[in-house]
A and B are shown apart, each in its own frame.
Chain A
């Protein structure tokens, strides 16, 4: 504890780019991630925010939590808006209309805004090679509109549009592998992160800001409201997602995979699922089917990393 008091302030800047007083639910993992990620971004940044929980909870006229320049326009166009901001600043600096300096552009969006409705705009912006960081806050559903499924919702989870019932086990499809889609765009930096591992997450944000070109980070963001779990489990559930292999932490630098931490022996999936109402209806058979898939996916990524793990 003494050590933490000494080191923590050095590791995490005190200044808040994202101020308290917003309307997020108690225990919101997404807002925790936003707060820490913006600390890692520093002051020389313009944030472009998609419609979704993070926009709605923090920007009700006449208030805002944002202490850095921030723009929200629509749900599905965040990457395109970010590419406009980046290009505008670049052109004006080149033409001497504003001082030459390093200004980063960070687009932030939910999983729905990223994997579903905004995928085309994101693909375009990544392909064109704009220098910007895109963060997807992945809480595995459309939370802002009342917990509807997205293509990031895990198999078997109940949402309001993938309810379990006599003819349904909940979400019918497997989670879309968005980081792989980002990697397929040959961008210099892709990573997964989780605020339960704050230093890892912030390091990745800093790293992403410094690459020349697009970078993509998918941040696992526990949503107690949508997942029907206790608000004080947020950090623990994030850890369990990593420890069970549900959400592996890794980086892909210039196409090269690297595990961010080693999980020598994955914990049983049920350690993770049993704490959440969204999985409560699942039978042991379905759970083991899901677990098999989780392990398979985990090993796939580990194989890509070739056993390489960060120090």
Chain B
């Protein structure tokens, strides 16, 4: 049976990776991801996890080594954040384009310059179009549950795509939380052995990574696109199976107190929990508001999003990243475009905040909602509002 433990979330992630019995871990340290890779090193050193631990010399090589081991058919894990994720950038496209089921935890962090080790979603947004499945999480329980699900999703025959499991740097990576821990046997049963269809092996030579002239490149990209979109079916099925086995249900878009709400606040990641408390308070004040949390970032859950906002007149989206010189919040601009052709179409207000580890309190969320509601009525004439900035 599952037991409740209090543990730092990063350590718990490493424990899940151990339970998933990975074959290869190729990692390079970066704050706030370090505790995951340090604990994995310990687990391997103590013989608790039988894996090859490759302490590579850069994140570019971390992801490259992952390509190699995954292509050989080995279950492969890595973790990174921020500059590390950016250094991996070109390799990420290869992982998805070559259909390699690598699982990676990203301890979301801001990007330089100026240097900031603290959390936001700048790193994620820069790798938005890399073709990875991307799952956001609110708390430690979500993170460990989705770490387990990630292996089953990635390696599923109908998917064969890499998966990023996002957790906010420090706000999640470094907190000690109570979590329900599964039994190792349960996890092993939940994740069938990796059975990569055409691994690199002399018994059946395959050529991987050939180059595509114009006559075939579009088809290759289209196949990838269809595959990523279709992966949602498997993601949903895995989450349902997880709920059956472990009793916790995940959904691409999750709603909190949205019944009859005319105004909806949108968040992604760890801020959602604070936002929930703010929503409770606003409801107590008699405001007709609810919260929508986006869990599945890629493939983008268009249908679920449209369903979740039905009946709402105002959406207030909080982004923890800034699309500089552009529309402001990247999540908001995706939501806008997803809803543009809807009739009726809600008013959408974009906020950017929580950058580089800046906290947003419960009162802060209340202010965002109230200001958002006012802006929706009178209009702001701006692409987005930046929250809490000292000018």
Contacts and interface: CB of A to CB of B under 8 A. Distances in A.
> Looking at B76, B201, B212, B220, which has the most chain A CB atoms within 10 Å of its CB?
B201
A80 B64 CA distance: 6
Contacts of B205: 66-70
A73 B71 CA distance: 11
A235 B26 CA distance: 42
Given A46-B202, A61-B212, A95-B50, A88 B69 contact: yes
B388 to A, nearest CB: 40
B72 interface: yes
Contact of B207 (A64, A73, A123, A127): A64
Interface stretch (B52-60, B317-325, B371-379): B52-60
A148 B104 CA distance: 37
Given A56-B211, A123-B57, A85 B94 contact: no
A88 B202 contact: no
A97 B69 CA distance: 14
B72 A124 contact: no
Nearest to A56: B211
A98 interface: yes
B66 interface: yes
A95 B52 CA distance: 11
A92 B65 contact: no
Given A44-B202, A121-B57, A77 B91 contact: yes
A80 B377 CA distance: 55
B53 to A, nearest CB: 9
Contacts of B74: 87-89, 91-92
B51 interface: yes
Contact of B210 (A45, A64, A67, A121): A64
Contacts of A84: 24, 26, 54, 64-72, 76
B130 interface: no
Contacts of B201: 46, 69, 89, 98, 103
> Looking at B57, B68, B208, which has the most chain A CB atoms within 10 Å of its CB?
B68
A76 B56 CA distance: 14
Contact of A80 (B56, B202, B207): B56
A91 B61 contact: no
Nearest to A130: B54
B213 interface: yes
Contacts of A141: none
A73 B58 contact: no
B24 A91 contact: yes
Interface residues of B, number: 46
A89 B72 contact: yes
A297 interface: no
Contacts of B207: 59, 64, 66, 69-71
Nearest to B51: A91
A72 interface: yes
B58 A124 contact: yes
> Looking at B24, B50, B56, B91, which has the most chain A CB atoms within 10 Å of its CB?
B24
A69 B91 contact: no
A125 B65 CA distance: 10
A61 B68 CA distance: 21
Contacts of B54: 83-84, 87, 128
A90 to B, nearest CB: 6
A81 B64 contact: yes
A298 to B, nearest CB: 33
B206 interface: yes
Nearest to B62: A80
Contacts of B23: 88, 91-92, 95, 97
A97 B50 CA distance: 12
B182 interface: no
> Looking at B26, B60, B76, B207, which has the most chain A CB atoms within 10 Å of its CB?
B207
Interface string A101-127: 001000000000000000011011101
A49 B52 CA distance: 22
Contact of A85 (B56, B57, B68, B220): B68
5 contacts: A64-B210, A69-B204, A72-B211, A88-B69, A91-B52
Interface of B: 23-24, 26, 50-52, 54-58, 60-62, 64-74, 76, 90-91, 94, 98, 193, 200-202, 204-213, 216, 220
